[in-house]
């Protein structure tokens, strides 16, 4: 017969009391009002100026549109619901799908959830109630047809990095060409001979010439007025003054194209402003329709 040893009742009571007064370190390490995002299955966020809770940093709006201001002004989301879609590169990189009621002219783009890390931005625990959503609104085909001015603005904001670099390089090259032209003009003007003076017509009698006295001047006074053809007034090519050439034409054409391109956005803005002042017929002053549908967007998690 095998007997199982048992502890005395007094020792069992002492062990139970010790565990009650001193819980395990893992349980004691969990911060108060903190939670792992992996344990959060859904979020409900509200607009109209509702703010998140905060502890280390300032509160943020529960819902914030990060599209261009004209698109954001078309519609303000009242309520957004986000569902946990699992983790990404680690257990706390939660991916979210968010839905909201939208007019048919708009759709949801990215919907990124931003939460406050409890002790730091790298803390896996986040403060309860500190999460907000930064969302993007995009025009649908219906919206692009109804708001063409806003659609053009959105397209202008989508310039790629290569286009911006090309524009910067063009500006540098244009400035260098202008500097070369100005420098060449100054050097040639300094080295060019003095232009011949226009002769006086002696048929009208004598006059006073500061250089030669009354009535003087020699044969040059009987020459025809400029320009002066012939070898008498010709000079070598090296002594001729600066004349427009290839680089001048290239720079002038580039300047004209650049000015036309830079002036067009201003004209568009002026036209848009005029249309806005014209009254409710302007497309930019119209509002979205009253119809609604459930739009869905997707996003990841970041901590502040």
Q: Write the pLDDT tens digit of every residue in 94-125.
A: 999 999 999 999 999 999 999 999 999 999 99
- Low-confidence residues of the chain, pLDDT below 50? 1, 3-4, 25-27, 204-221, 232-239, 263-284
Cis upstream peptide for 15 (omega within 30°) = no
Q: Is 64 helix (H, G, I), strand (E, B) or coil?
A: strand
How far from 126 is each of 30, 32, 93, 135, 255, CA to CA, in Å?
11, 10, 12, 20, 56
| pLDDT confidence of residue 153 | 76
Q: What are phi and psi of 100, to 5 degrees?
A: -155, 155
Say if pTM beats, i.e. exceeds, 0.85: no
What's the pLDDT at 33?
92
pLDDT at 227: 56
- Tell me what pLDDT residue 92 has: 86
- CB-based burial of residue 132 (10 Å sphere; 0-12 exposed, 13-18 middle, 19+ buried)? buried
Phi, psi (deg, nearest 5) at residue 51: -110, 155
CA angle 224, 225, 230 (to 5 degrees): 60
- pLDDT value, residue 175: 84
């Amino acid at each position: 017969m095998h007997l199982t040893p048992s502890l005395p009742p007094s020792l069992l009571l002492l062990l139970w009391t010790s565990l009650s007064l001193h819980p395990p370190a893992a349980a004691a390490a969990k911060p108060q009002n903190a939670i792992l995002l992996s344990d959060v299955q859904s979020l409900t966020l509200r607009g109209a100026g509702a703010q998140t809770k905060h502890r280390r940093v300032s509160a943020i709006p529960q819902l914030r549109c990060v599209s261009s201001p004209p698109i954001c002004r078309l519609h303000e989301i009242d309520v957004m619901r986000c569902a946990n879609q699992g983790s990404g590169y680690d257990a706390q990189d939660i991916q979210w799908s968010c839905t909201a009621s939208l007019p048919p002219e708009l759709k949801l783009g990215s919907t990124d959830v931003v939460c406050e890390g409890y002790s730091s931005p790298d803390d896996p625990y986040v403060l309860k109630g500190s999460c907000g959503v930064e969302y993007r609104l995009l025009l649908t085909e219906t919206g692009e047809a109804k708001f063409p001015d806003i659609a053009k603005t959105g397209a202008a904001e989508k310039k790629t990095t290569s286009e911006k670099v090309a524009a910067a390089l063009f500006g540098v090259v244009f400035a260098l060409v202008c500097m070369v032209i100005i420098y060449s003009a100054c050097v040639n003007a300094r080295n060019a001979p003095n232009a011949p003076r226009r002769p006086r017509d002696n048929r009208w009698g004598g006059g006073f010439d500061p250089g030669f006295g009354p009535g003087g001047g020699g044969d040059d006074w009987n020459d025809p007025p400029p320009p002066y053809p012939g070898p008498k007034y010709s000079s070598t090519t090296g002594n001729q003054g600066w004349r427009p050439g290839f680089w001048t034409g290239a720079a002038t054409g580039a300047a004209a194209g650049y000015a036309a391109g830079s002036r067009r956005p201003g004209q568009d803005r002026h036209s848009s402003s005029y249309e806005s002042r014209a009254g409710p017929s302007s497309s930019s002053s119209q509002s979205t329709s009253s119809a609604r549908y459930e739009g869905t967007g997707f996003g990841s998690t970041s901590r502040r």
